[in-house]
Structure formats: structure tokens, C-alpha cells
């Protein structure tokens, strides 16, 4: 054998034995179900922002390491951000179509906190083993109220909040006896796992201040927060500031926490003062939080009580600031009155918030990002149901530099988790990239991420969201939706 040949033979032997070691050594058994390899991991809670490998096992995060990890499957995340999955505290679209649009926007947990649901047990059962994203809801004060006033659900057991907010129920004041029934029903809903109480106060002109105060007293008994669409959006007295003052006063006097829904569309031009008031209350130890969606137009139904009386003067808006979502047309006095009469549940987009106000709220300290997205009924709706989170990351962080990537991610992950975790044990495992946390993870390209949904074409997926995992299962992979997977789990409270 020549030297050359000997070298060749020995190197072949070496390669073979190396291969057999790889094939048969016990080290080859994969330690993890999936390893997300080489991504830039950002965890706003711990402050971690570094290249790491993340090992997942049985739906949980089991390792975060600088070293290579062995997995049954490796997901190369080089050049991508690996963040906790986004938690949306304001998701009206509790179906898998709405879930899919939100998943493509990076959301892994979508909760209906403002309007809530009722009865809780039947609602949780309706989504069991059948949900794309993690789901949960508050006890709906509006629905419970309509039920106590004699409303029967249109849809089997579950009443929609739209039915509950129809004139007839929403305009009635409660007798002391009916108020007792309402409190009792809310209490039962909390015992069934409700994530607090949701109050659509702006849609309930019959709800007196004393009624809302009683609901806060119940919430205080259980140390749970009240999520409210405050009484009025108005620049005229009683204005949006007075609406906020009512809720701050309820928190101070009862001890129950308040979460103010969509501060942008609640306050309009008064948002700067209202944010100051919320921060002032917080600095004095009052547990109050708020959220915003990154759009200057709101979305609601045309039959809503907010469009009665002198609404144009109060909101500072005209007919032509309203857009009928079914056709995309701007309204006039004639079409407004026609649609409000013929199709009161039909939805409208309302353009009335200045950019500066939305900028201030999106970048404001401790203000969470929440979509207020709808259910895409008739394939129509507001773009926020598809684009909220990517819009913040693409336009407010990357293009305009109004806040840092880590600050923005905190508003979408750990802040909403912490809002609930005192009485919702599951939330201690969400909103984090940490060992033991649920494997709810969003992997995106920070250079590409942006919303595509517009007012005229709202059902457009965001781009730049590459992979989304819910409890360790891909719901988005290689920027494509995965069908026929239902990894979403219930998020429920545990109260005393």
C-alpha cells in the first residue's frame, strides 16, 4: 500500500467510525422536541437580548443556551428575532378565522376582556380542543345585565354582546333587585374562570354610576380588575376626562383595579391629559392600566348609543368621517340615517384621532398594545384585527424610531401577562422567554415586519412574521398559516 493509499483508507475508516458514533451513540438521542437555533432572543422581563438557542420540550421552554442543543427538529432562526408570543387583551374575534389573522400578526394568546362573554362555562367549552390560539374572557357585565332584564340568547346558550347592547336592554336602568341579580351572575361567572369583569359602559346609557360602583365592589372582593370602555367619548361636558375620573374614583374607593380600554379612541384630543391622569394615579399606588391600538380611526356598530343625540358635536366628527365597512363608502346624513335604521348592527369606521395622540399613547410608558380586532363577520372589519402588532413593530419602531424594539415587545408580552398573573396562574408562564414558560413564541424579521391590512382592504396578513408557536406547536411556519392544528388552551382565573 502506498502512503497515499494508506492515508485514504485510514481516512475512510475514520469517517465511517465517526458516522457510526453519530448514528449509535446515546448522545444522538435528541434532548428537545424542537430547537430554535441562532436567533436573537429578546425577553423584555429579564432584559435578555442576545443570540441564543432555545430548546422546547412538551410545549414548554426547557433550555436557553449559548451552546448548540440537539433537537428532533432544528429551526434555523439566524437573522431573526425570537420573542415571547404576543398577548392581546382586546380580541373580540373569538373564532379561528380571527385567530389566524392574529397569528400571522404574531399573537399567541387572544383574550376578550372588554365586552366579555356569558355564560363562562359554555363559552370555554365551545372553544375547547378547537382553538388556534390560547383563549379566555372576562365575565360580560353587558350580557349579564341584558339577561337579568329578561333577554334570551339568540344563539343557543351564548348571547352575543351585540344583542346585549341593543336598545331596550342597554337603555334601561336597573332596579335594586335586578342589580342584585347582576352582581350574583357576575360572581358565578368569576367562579367559572372569568378573567375579571368586562364593561362596555359607553354602550349602556341606562347604567347609572351607582350600578358600576357596585360591580367594582364585587371585583374588589376578589382582587380582580375591571376592563372598561368608559362612559363617553366627548369633547363637550361631560367629556372623556369625566369618564376616566369615574373609573379612577371607583378604583380609589373600592380597591379594585381598572384597565382602560383603547385610550386613543376614548380620549381623542384629550388623550395627553388622560395619560397624565393615569400615570398620576399609578404613582399614588392606584392599580390602573391602559392600552391602545395603533390607528387613528375607530370601529363600532352604527346602531350604538354613541351615535345618538348630539354625537357629531360631542365627538367632534361629521357624517363624512364615517365609513360603511360593507361597501367602503363614506356616509352622508341620508345614508347614515338609512343604515342606522335598516342595519343597526352594521359596522362603521370612524376617523377622528390625530396622529400625535396615537404616537403619544403607542410610545407612552406602560401603555399596552391591544388590537380591539373584530370577528370578520361578512369578511369586513377594521384593519387592526390583522395588523396591530406588526404595525407597531414596523412603523413605530423601525421606520419612525418612536420606541425601541424591546420597549414595544414589553407592551405586547410581559405587560399584559403581568396585568393578569396575580389571579390567573397561567399568565405567570406567558409573555416570557424563560425556562419553564409556555412555548408561545413569535419569530420575526425586524427588518421586514409590517402590517398590510388597510381600511379598504382589511383582511391582509402582516408580513415579516416567520414562525409562530402556541404551546410548542407551529400555527405559522415559514410565513404560512398551518391548518387543522388546535393547540390553543384556555386561560382561566383562580379566585377565592
> Which residues of this chain interact with Zn ion, rule CB under 5 A?
229
> Which CB atom, from 229 or from 467, has the smaller least distance to Zn ion?
229
Contacts with 216 (C-beta within 8 Å, 6 or more apart), sequence order? 226, 250, 251, 253, 254, 256
Residue whose CB is nearest to Zn ion in the complex, by number: 229
> Which CB atom, from 229 or from 340, has the smaller least distance to Zn ion?
229
| Residue 328, CB-side half-sphere exposure with 13 Å CA sphere | 7
Nearest approach in angstroms of CB 170 to Zn ion is 14
Nearest approach in angstroms of CB 185 to Zn ion is 22
Contacts with 251 (C-beta within 8 Å, 6 or more apart), sequence order? 216, 257, 258, 281, 286, 287, 288
Nearest approach in angstroms of CB 459 to Zn ion is 21
> Which CB atom, from 113 or from 473, has the smaller least distance to Zn ion?
113
Question: How many CB atoms sit inside 10 A of residue 31's CB?
Answer: 14
Size (the chain), residues: 496
| Spatial CA neighbour of 163 closest among 118, 130, 121, 197 | 118
Nearest approach in angstroms of CB 415 to Zn ion is 19
Instruction: Please give the grid coordinates belonging to residue 158.
Output: 351564548
Q: How far apart are CA 39 and CA 32, in angstroms?
A: 17
CB 297 within 8 A of CB 268: no
> Which CB atom, from 223 or from 351, has the smaller least distance to Zn ion?
351
The b-or-e profile of 198-220 (16+ CB within 10 A means b, else e) is bbbbbbbbbbeeebbebbbebbb
Nearest approach in angstroms of CB 63 to Zn ion is 41
150 Rama sector, left if φ>0, alpha if ψ -120 to 50, beta otherwise: left
Q: How far apart are CA 256 and CA 110, in angstroms?
A: 23
Q: How far apart are CA 106 and CA 84, in angstroms?
A: 9
Looking at the DSSP bridge assignments, the partners of residue 481 are: 476
Nearest approach in angstroms of CB 122 to Zn ion is 24
**Residue 365: φ, ψ to 5°:** -65, 135
Nearest approach in angstroms of CB 246 to Zn ion is 16
> Which CB atom, from 304 or from 463, has the smaller least distance to Zn ion?
304
The runs of H, that is alpha helices, within 316-402 are 333-342, 355-363, 384-391
Query: Which DSSP string do the residues of 30-69 spell out, in sequence order?
Result: -SEEEEEEEEEEEETTTTEEEEEEEEEETTEEEEEESS--
> Which CB atom, from 37 or from 289, has the smaller least distance to Zn ion?
289
Q: How far apart are CA 67 and CA 38, in angstroms?
A: 10
Nearest approach in angstroms of CB 297 to Zn ion is 13
Nearest approach in angstroms of CB 401 to Zn ion is 29
> Which CB atom, from 229 or from 411, has the smaller least distance to Zn ion?
229
Nearest approach in angstroms of CB 167 to Zn ion is 18
Nearest approach in angstroms of CB 472 to Zn ion is 33
> Which CB atom, from 53 or from 323, has the smaller least distance to Zn ion?
323
> Which CB atom, from 116 or from 394, has the smaller least distance to Zn ion?
116
Nearest approach in angstroms of CB 396 to Zn ion is 21
> Which CB atom, from 229 or from 231, has the smaller least distance to Zn ion?
229
> Which CB atom, from 32 or from 352, has the smaller least distance to Zn ion?
352
CA dist list (Å): 164 to 177, 325, 462 = 19, 22, 33
Instruction: Please give the grid coordinates belonging to residue 428.
Output: 405567570
> Which CB atom, from 300 or from 442, has the smaller least distance to Zn ion?
300
3-state secondary structure 24-35: HCHHHCCCEEEE
| Residue 90, CB-side half-sphere exposure with 13 Å CA sphere | 26
Amino acid at each position: 500500500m502506498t502512503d497515499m493509499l494508506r492515508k485514504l483508507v485510514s481516512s475512510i475508516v475514520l469517517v465511517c467510525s465517526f458516522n457510526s458514533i453519530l448514528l449509535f451513540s446515546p448522545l444522538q438521542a435528541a434532548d428537545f422536541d424542537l430547537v430554535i437555533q441562532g436567533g436573537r432572543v429578546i425577553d423584555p422581563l429579564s432584559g435578555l437580548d442576545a443570540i441564543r438557542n432555545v430548546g422546547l420540550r412538551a410545549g414548554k421552554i426547557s433550555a436557553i443556551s449559548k451552546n448548540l442543543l440537539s433537537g428532533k427538529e432544528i429551526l434555523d432562526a439566524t437573522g431573526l428575532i425570537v420573542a415571547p408570543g404576543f398577548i392581546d387583551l382586546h380580541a373580540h374575534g373569538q373564532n379561528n378565522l380571527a385567530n389566524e389573522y392574529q397569528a400571522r400578526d404574531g399573537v399567541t394568546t387572544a383574550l376578550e376582556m372588554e365586552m366579555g362573554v356569558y355564560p363562562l362555562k359554555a363559552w370555554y367549552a365551545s372553544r375547547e380542543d378547537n382553538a388556534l390560539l390560547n383563549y379566555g374572557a372576562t365575565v360580560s357585565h353587558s350580557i349579564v345585565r341584558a339577561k337579568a332584564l329578561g333577554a334570551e340568547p339568540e344563539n343557543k346558550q351564548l348571547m352575543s354582546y351585540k344583542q346585549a347592547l341593543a336598545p331596550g336592554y342597554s337603555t334601561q336602568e336597573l332596579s335594586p333587585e335586578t342589580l342584585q341579580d347582576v352582581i350574583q351572575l357576575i360572581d358565578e361567572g368569576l367562579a367559572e374562570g372569568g378573567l375579571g369583569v368586562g364593561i362596555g359602559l359607553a354602550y349602556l346609557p341606562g347604567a347609572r354610576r351607582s350600578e358600576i360602583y357596585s360591580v367594582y365592589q364585587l371585583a374588589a372582593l376578589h382582587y380582580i380588575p375591571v376592563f372598561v370602555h368608559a362612559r363617553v367619548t366627548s369633547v363637550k361636558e361631560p367629556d372623556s376626562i369625566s369618564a376616566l375620573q369615574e373609573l379612577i374614583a371607583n378604583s380609589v374607593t373600592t380597591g379594585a383595579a381598572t384597565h382602560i380600554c383603547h385610550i386613543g379612541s376614548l380620549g381623542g384630543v384629550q388623550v395627553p391629559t388622560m395619560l397624565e391622569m393615569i400615570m398620576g394615579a399609578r404613582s399614588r399606588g392606584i392599580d390602573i392600566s391602559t392600552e391602545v391600538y395603533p390607528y387613528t380611526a375607530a370601529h363600532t356598530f352604527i346602531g350604538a348609543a354613541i351615535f345618538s343625540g348630539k354625537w357629531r358635536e360631542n365627538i367632534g366628527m361629521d357624517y363624512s368621517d364615517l365609513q360603511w365597512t360593507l361597501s367602503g363608502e363614506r356616509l352622508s346624513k341620508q345614508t347614515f340615517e338609512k343604515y342606522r335604521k335598516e342595519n343597526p348592527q352594521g359596522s362603521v369606521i370612524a376617523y377622528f384621532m390625530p396622529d400625535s395622540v396615537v404616537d403619544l399613547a403607542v410610545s407612552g410608558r406602560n401603555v399596552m398594545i391591544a388590537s380591539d380586532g373584530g370577528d370578520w363577520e361578512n369578511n369586513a372589519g377594521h384593519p387592526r384585527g390583522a395588523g396591530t402588532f406588526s404595525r407597531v413593530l414596523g412603523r413605530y419602531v423601525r421606520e419612525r424610531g418612536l420606541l425601541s424594539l424591546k420597549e414595544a415587545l414589553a407592551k405586547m408580552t410581559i405587560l399584559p401577562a403581568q396585568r393578569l398573573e396575580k389571579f390567573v396562574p397561567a399568565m405567570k408562564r406567558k409573555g416570557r422567554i424563560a425556562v419553564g414558560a409556555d412555548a408561545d413564541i413569535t419569530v420575526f424579521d425586524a427588518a421586514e415586519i409590517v402590517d398590510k391590512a388597510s381600511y379598504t382592504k382589511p383582511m391582509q396578513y402582516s408580513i415579516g412574521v416567520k414562525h409562530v408557536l402556541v404551546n410548542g406547536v407551529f400555527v405559522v411556519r415559514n410565513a404560512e398559516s398551518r391548518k387543522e392544528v388546535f393547540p390553543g388552551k384556555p386561560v382561566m382565573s383562580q379566585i377565592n
